[in-house]
Amino acid sequence: MLESRVNVNLTPEEIAEAKRRLGREPNEIELGMIDVMWSEHCSYKSSKKVLEILPKSGRRVVVGPGYDSGVVDIGDGDVIAFKVESHNHPSAIDPYNGSATGVGGIIRDILCMNCRPIALLDSLRFGNPQSAHARWLFNNVVKGIADYGNRTGIPTVAGEVEFDESFEVNCLVNVACVGLGRINELTLARMDNPGDIVVLMGGDTGRDGIHGVTFASKTIREDSELERPAVQVGNPFIKKLVIEATLEAMRTGKVTAVKDLGGGGLTCALSEMSSKGGTGVDVELTNIHVREEGMTPYELLLSESQERMIFTILPESQDEVLRVFRKWEVPYSIIGKVTDTGRIVAKYRGRIVVDIPSKLLTEPPMAKRRARKISIITKKRASKPPIPMDFAKVMHHILSSPNIADMHPVYRQYDHEVGLRTILKPGDADAAVLRIIGKNKAIAVKIDCNSLHCYLDPYAGHAAAVAEAARNVTATGAKPIAVTDCCNFGNPEKPEVYWQFKEAIRGITYMLKGLGLPCVGGNVSFYNEDEESGRAVKPTTTIVMLGLIERLSLVTSMALKEVGESIILLGKTYPELGGSEYYRLIGFDGGKVPKAVASRERASIKTLAEAIRRGYVTAAHDCSKGGLAVSLAEMAIKGGLGLKVDLAYVLHTPSMRIDEILFSESSARFIVTTSEVNTAKILSLARRRGVPASKIGEVSASSYTVAMNGKILFECSVESLRESWQDAIPRLIGG
């Protein structure tokens, strides 16, 4: 009887385990709830064990992994909540609505902590722009993020876009949200007090997201596929009202907890909140405000309709809170009470339809996965490509690579100013900088990864991703303080994919420990692979780095500032061109992936931070993607000034070729500019920390000039470089 009506993804062992824990056969509704809660998406059953090795504590950590978002103390009673999540699968089939609802979901995670969302960041990956499908995904994802983010009044301040054929079918859409709150006003999404009133607030509940679960109910069969979309449509207008109503409701002091409804809907929210508080909850499903008629208990418990929040309110105090909801004209329904039973009891028209322990849902059995090393990956080729004849031409080529080129066609579609916090705007620096209004301090945020490096060497690539993000915030004048991450991988049941995942987490852990940084939360997205070809995306864990800028006077951008200033390169250059933009451009497959060594990173970061603190630095830029040549060009373009550098002064390993010096993507390097008088001071700071550093040239008026031992190798006008860099995306994508 049971099996004939419910088609679940649970394995026979999992079903047996569920029965054992429940002490009876679960009914079909309960089985559906278990199915969803024990799914990879909700349970992290393949990843939880691996993620345990990440460092999670630190003196600034207020809330670590396990809640809706991580929270970090930035002093003076202020806290930052931040979280990143993927919305890859919906975006791949409906890029506009898929990316929009991705933004909606991550905003709710910040709201749950009683923090005001103050910034969005996005990390996007698509197939080669030559493909019409990739361009269609790109344009619609950007529009979806813009239309949703802009309407909610949260600025989109930073991001990255990468193009690679492995993302042709499965694009990656990772969106991060940053929130600001007060340490003594934080709330945790847990039901601690039996007797509290449970209220569902926000958008109406419909059958959204349920058709994905293969439940053979009569009502669903009546809905033709033609009438129901495969991806939800978000309503950013309602979201804006939900944000303001939630924050205002919290100010009444009568709300004890808030949680958003995302994957797993009401089931997930109720079970996680009660399980964390060691309580239970009784709800009457008939009270829920609905959009569609005749919804079954199963559908009400598992609907994933957007823009909904669960509130628990002190007994007898609901009027004050509900008045706020009425002012903002957001619908709500009182659906039940917190109990001390440890069970979720759901009634439908007064009849009990579900009675199941919360912890049964939230503590699923872990999956056992096998890992197998992929041996083809670490290629080490002795052969090298021929040295290019015309370096100026290479410069123009590499600056117009879609992975390097100016992304203004993307970020000008985002409102990056709303909120009056954005000091360094998209493109100004390695990270976005947001001030804390009323205080002499700011935060820097960055989202980053290099999927090609991560593919060629998941351990080294991911360690380098953490290091690069840390350097990025450092270059703006910030001290890196915490990280959250978003893992995007193929099918974890395949040992090779699982190996990539384990290596990635090992690499991230190594660098976090080396830099003394905690990981305060994260998200894992598996099964990013094309069903037909079985081809997985390149393993990509995007790193969101948070930095704290202790005084506004420390804020540093990358633009060159003044003719005659010295250009200093911090860090040593190694022949590490495996997976470099230069090799990608000339189609050369080989070379070593840059190796990030924690001690070197730490020394470089500390040197730059100290130089900035002492007021020596006029511009700073991390030297990574595209190498020294590209990083210098970016600084020149931003400043509208030229430069002259001599490669003879670049500190590198012996017998490196010119193209290797120019385009190696070695880690632990920064380019900084400074006045003539402060040049020696920066070099001496570097020496004291054992960081190889040298003055490699000077800022000039308008020409980008590269010499070797005084002999000019090539020269181009900064204006012409700017054109190549600026025109590339409109030319490749249109717009």
Binder to other proteins among 136, 214, 551, 702 (CB under 8 A)? 136
Computed from CA positions of residues 340, 344, 345, 349, in that sequence, does the dihedral angle turn out positive or negative?
positive
Q: Which stretch binds other proteins (CB under 8 A): 151-159, 382-390, 594-602, 624-632?
A: 151-159
Binding residue (CB under 8 A) for other proteins from 89, 207, 347, 602: 207
Q: Minimum distance between the CB of residue 705 and other proteins, rounded to whole angstroms?
A: 27
Asked if 65 and 519 count as a contact pair (C-beta separation under 8 A), the reply is yes
| Three-state secondary-structure class, residue 523 | strand
Q: Kindly tell me which residue out of 415, 565, 581, 659 binds other proteins, with binding defined by CB under 8 A.
A: 415
Choice from 55, 65, 153, 495 touching other proteins (CB under 8 A): 153
419 binds other proteins (CB under 8 A): yes
Does 322 engage in binding with other proteins (CB under 8 A)? no
Among 19, 21, 49, 143, binds other proteins (CB under 8 A): 143
Alpha helices, DSSP H, located in 486-621: 495-515, 581-586, 598-613
Residue 423 in contact with other proteins, rule: CB under 8 A = yes
Distance CA 559, CA 641 (A): 9
Smallest distance, other proteins to C-beta of residue 719, A: 16
| 3-state class (DSSP) for residue 179 | strand
Q: DSSP secondary-structure letter at 689?
A: T
**Amino acid letter, residue 39:** S
State the minimum distance, in angstroms, from the CB of residue 93 to other proteins.
Answer: 5
Specify the DSSP element, H or E, that contains 277: helix 265-277
Cα separation, 730 vs 735, whole angstroms: 5
Contact between 417 and other proteins by CB under 8 A: the answer reads yes
Residue closer to other proteins, measured from CB, 152 or 472: 152
The interface region with other proteins, picked from 64-72, 259-267, 432-440, 659-667 by CB under 8 A, is 432-440
Catalytic, out of 41, 397, 416, 621? 41
**Active site includes 621?**
no
Task: Say if strands 442-448 and 642-646 run parallel, antiparallel, or are unpaired.
Answer: unpaired
Decide if residue 19 touches other proteins (CB under 8 A).
no
Q: Which lies closer to other proteins via its Cβ, residue 305 or residue 679?
A: 305
Asked if 328 is part of the footprint of other proteins (rule: CB under 8 A), the reply reads: yes
Please say which residue, 316 or 329, places its beta carbon nearer to other proteins.
Answer: 329
Pair 722, 427: CB distance under 8 Å? no
Residue 266 to residue 309: CA distance in whole angstroms: 9
Active site residue 396: no
Residue 654 makes CB contacts below 8 A (sequence gap 6+) with none
Nearer to other proteins by Cβ, of 143 and 657: the residue is: 143
The yes or no reply on residue 146 touching other proteins (CB under 8 A) is: yes
Query: Which of helix, strand or coil describes residue 671?
Result: strand
* Cβ 552 to other proteins shortest distance, Å: 6
Measured between alpha carbons, how far is 481 from 445 in angstroms, rounded to an integer? 10
User: Rounded to the nearest whole angstrom, what is the least distance from the CB of residue 727 to other proteins in the complex?
Assistant: 15
When binding is defined by CB under 8 A, the residue of 17, 292, 493, 723 that contacts other proteins is: 292
Maximal CA-CA distance, the chain: 88
- Residue 420 interacting with other proteins (CB under 8 A): yes
Q: Look at residues 477, 400, 513, 574 and name the one whose alpha carbon lies nearest to residue 57.
A: 513
471 contributes a contact to other proteins by CB under 8 A: no
Q: With DSSP H G I counted as helix, E B as strand and the rest as coil, what are the percentages for the chain, rounded to 5?
A: 35, 25, 40
Question: Does 296 interact with other proteins (rule: CB under 8 A)?
Answer: no
* Stretch 85-124: interaction string toward other proteins, x if CB under 8 A: --------xx-xx---------------------------
Shorter beta-carbon distance to other proteins: residue 274 or 557:
557
Q: Which is nearer to other proteins, 411 or 725 (CB)?
A: 411
Specify whether the CB–CB gap between 487 and 525 falls below 8 A.
Answer: yes
- Which of 60, 276, 416, 502 is the binder for other proteins (CB under 8 A)? 416
552 in contact with other proteins (CB under 8 A): yes
Q: Considering beta carbons, is residue 306 or 358 the nearer one to other proteins?
A: 306
Q: Does 648 bind other proteins (CB under 8 A)?
A: no
Cβ-based nearer residue to other proteins, 369 or 435: 435
Taking the complex as a whole, how short is the minimal distance between the CB of residue 94 and other proteins, in angstroms? 4
Q: Are 620 and 556 in contact (CB under 8 A)?
A: yes
Cα 278 to Cα 273: distance, rounded to the nearest angstrom: 9
Name the segment binding other proteins (CB under 8 A); options: 279-287, 388-396, 414-422, 628-636: 414-422
Measured from the CB of residue 234, what is the shortest distance to other proteins in angstroms? Answer: 8
- The residue within the footprint of other proteins, chosen from 123, 150, 450, 523 (CB under 8 A), is 150
- Please report how close the Cβ of residue 202 comes to other proteins at its closest, in angstroms: 13
- Residue 411 within binding range of other proteins, rule CB under 8 A: yes
Shortest separation between residue 419's beta carbon and other proteins, angstroms: 7
Whole-angstrom distance, CA of residue 212 vs CA of residue 406: 39
Residue with the two structure tokens 């700011």? 442
HSE of 259 in the Cβ direction (CA atoms, 13 Å)?
Answer: 24
Question: Taking CB under 8 A as the rule, does residue 723 contact other proteins?
Answer: no
Structure tokens at 92: 């791949």
How many beta carbons lie within 10 A of that of residue 423, not counting itself?
A: 19
Token match 């385990």: residue?
17
Assess contact for 34 and 10: CB atoms under 8 A: yes
Q: CB burial class (10 A; 0-12, 13-18, 19+) of residue 49?
A: middle
DSSP-based three-state secondary structure for 327:
helix
For other proteins, give the closer residue by CB, 151 or 259.
151
Q: Is 293 in the site for other proteins (CB under 8 A)?
A: no
Choose the stretch contacting other proteins; rule: CB under 8 A; options: 41-49, 139-147, 175-183, 498-506: 139-147
| Total site size for other proteins, rule CB under 8 A | 56
Q: Which of 46, 232, 528, 674 lies at the binding interface for other proteins (CB under 8 A)?
A: 232
Q: Scan for tokens 């059995």, then name that residue.
A: 365
At 180, is the secondary structure helix, strand, or coil? strand
Q: Which is nearer to other proteins, 232 or 488 (CB)?
A: 232
Which residues 6+ apart lie within 8 Å of 686 measured at CB? 570, 607, 692, 693
Q: Which stretch binds other proteins (CB under 8 A): 45-53, 201-209, 519-527, 593-601?
A: 201-209
The residues near 522 (Cβ < 8 Å, ≥ 6 apart) are: 51, 54, 65, 84, 484, 485, 486, 487
C-beta of 421 vs 538, nearer to other proteins = 421
Question: Does residue 500 touch other proteins according to CB under 8 A?
Answer: no
Q: Does 372 bind other proteins (CB under 8 A)?
A: no
Cα 151 to Cα 157: distance, rounded to the nearest angstrom: 15
* Binding piece for other proteins, criterion CB under 8 A, among 226-234, 296-304, 498-506, 616-624: 226-234
Among 10, 22, 62, 230, binds other proteins (CB under 8 A): 230
The 3-state DSSP class for residue 655 equals coil
In whole angstroms, what is the distance from residue 178 CA to residue 436 CA? 12
Phi, psi of 224 (to 5 degrees): -75, 145
Catalytic residues: 41, 87
**Site residues, other proteins (CB under 8 A):** 93-94, 96-97, 136, 143, 146-147, 150-153, 206-208, 223, 226-238, 240-241, 291-292, 306, 327-329, 411-420, 422-423, 425, 428, 435, 437-438, 552, 735
